[in-house]
Amino acid sequence: MIVAIANRDGCDAAERLSRIVLADGSAGHVAPVRLARADALLRDVADALHQLCSLHGRHPGVVDYAVRADQHPAAAEWFEQAAAAFADERAYLIRVSAAAGPPPGTPRQAAAEAALAAQRHAIDLLARSVRPGCALGAAIGVTLDWPVIRRPLDAAAIRLGLDTLPNHLPSPAQTMRLIDTVTGDGPIERAMTFGLQQLLAQHRGLWDLLVARAESRG
């Protein structure tokens, strides 16, 4: 899924990318809100966690690939923190998903699996891109979008009697500073914007899929 690159509007790069995350990321979708509610059907929660595992429960993940693909010197410390934190996030996601149980039977399962495979492929391509800035943009996108993804994950952990995990990802302020440091020229910023937008598009696609699967189960 290809989305349009944001236009320059006079604000700095960090603010531009932050606006994109707010407008196009998981915060603008109804699914995370529904899944974080106490009355969410456990089968829908289990399905969501299972499908999230298929995208972000794998190793290497987005940040791990991006570390290898986009060796910008100014990003080294940020990447080190993000990679270590996402190792914990993967383990947390897998643990809560296992406690929630297997995904429920759902009509058109083969089509859903094909859609997820396409999303995984798209995410991997972004994170492994050698175009300077693209992989970093994808890594920044998943980091900035993750707190919203964490809401249904934490809600499920509490509901299932599991301990929640402190969030050790780079803070938004750290990430904003990184963006402003590395976007010294137009091509880098455009590539970062592309990587970030496409990563967010895959997240929106996942939420859309989860809503459709829940509706098909009745």
pLDDT surpassing 50 at residue 106: yes
Does residue 116 form part of some domain? Answer: yes
Chain centre to alpha carbon of residue 59: 14
Mean confidence (pLDDT) of the chain:
91
Alpha helices in the chain (DSSP H): 13-24, 30-36, 42-56, 62-69, 76-100, 109-127, 134-159, 172-182, 186-217
Distance in angstroms (rounded) separating the CA atoms of residues 83 and 47: 26
Does residue 1 form part of some domain? Answer: no
Angle at 117 between CA 115 and CA 123, to 5 degrees: 105
pLDDT surpassing 60 at residue 30: yes
Q: How much is the pLDDT for 70? A: 73
Does residue 8 form part of some domain? Answer: no
> Can you tell me the mean pLDDT for 196-212?
97
Does residue 73 form part of some domain? Answer: yes
How big is the chain, counted in residues?
218
63-67, 104-108, 168-172: segment of lowest average pLDDT: 104-108
> Can you tell me the mean pLDDT for 191-215?
96
pLDDT surpassing 60 at residue 7: no
pLDDT tens digit sequence for 32-48: 999 999 999 999 999 99
Does residue 3 form part of some domain? Answer: no
Looking at residue 53, which CATH number applies to its domain? 1.20.910
Of all residues in the chain, the percent with pLDDT exceeding 90 is 81
Distance (Å) of CA 62 to CA 12, 65, 98, 110, 213: 25, 5, 22, 25, 25
Does residue 101 form part of some domain? Answer: yes
Distance in angstroms (rounded) separating the CA atoms of residues 4 and 1: 10
Question: What range does the domain containing 191 cover?
Answer: 13-217
Does residue 4 form part of some domain? Answer: no
pLDDT surpassing 70 at residue 92: yes
Q: Which two tokens stand for residue 30?
A: 């109804």
Tokens 């402190």: give the residue: 166
Q: How much is the pLDDT for 185? A: 66
Does residue 2 form part of some domain? Answer: no
How many structural domains compose the chain?
A: 1
